[in-house]
């Protein structure tokens, strides 16, 4: 695997429109190289016979059943609303559009 060079970091910085100092270019080249080496090590360990997982232990659905229940009475909701119009809450306009 090839290492990330200072010129690679300089090129990436130019693409990202970052103005990096000489010291930063050297610093980030070393950091990015370590990151890429770590990713390469993980890729070596991953095997085709191991299925991808999101959890180390099997998970099962722990949610309750979805059962329809009656909602609140419309008249009670309207009575508690500061402003009510055409069976809806009336709120202040937040945009200057018509």
pLDDT tens digits, 53-65: 778 788 787 788 8
55-62 contacts, C-beta under 8 A, 24 or more apart: none
Contacts of 83 (CB under 8 A, 6+ apart): 89, 90, 91
Rg (CA), the chain: 29
Multiple choice CATH, 6-45, 1.10.10.10, 2.40.50.100, 3.20.20.140, 1.10.20.60: 1.10.20.60
Ranges of each domain in the chain: 6-45
Query: Tell me: the pLDDT tens digits for 68-95?
Result: 999 999 889 899 889 988 888 988 888 8
């Amino acid at each position: 695997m090839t290492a990330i060079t200072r010129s690679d970091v300089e090129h990436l910085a130019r693409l990202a429109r970052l103005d990096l100092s000489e010291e930063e270019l050297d610093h980030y080249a070393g950091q990015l190289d370590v990151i890429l080496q770590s990713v390469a090590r993980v890729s070596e360990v991953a095997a085709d016979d191991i299925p991808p997982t999101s959890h180390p232990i099997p998970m099962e659905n722990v949610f309750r059943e979805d059962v329809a229940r009656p909602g609140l009475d419309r008249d009670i909701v309207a009575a508690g609303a500061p402003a009510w119009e055409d069976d809806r809450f009336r709120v202040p306009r937040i945009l200057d559009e018509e």
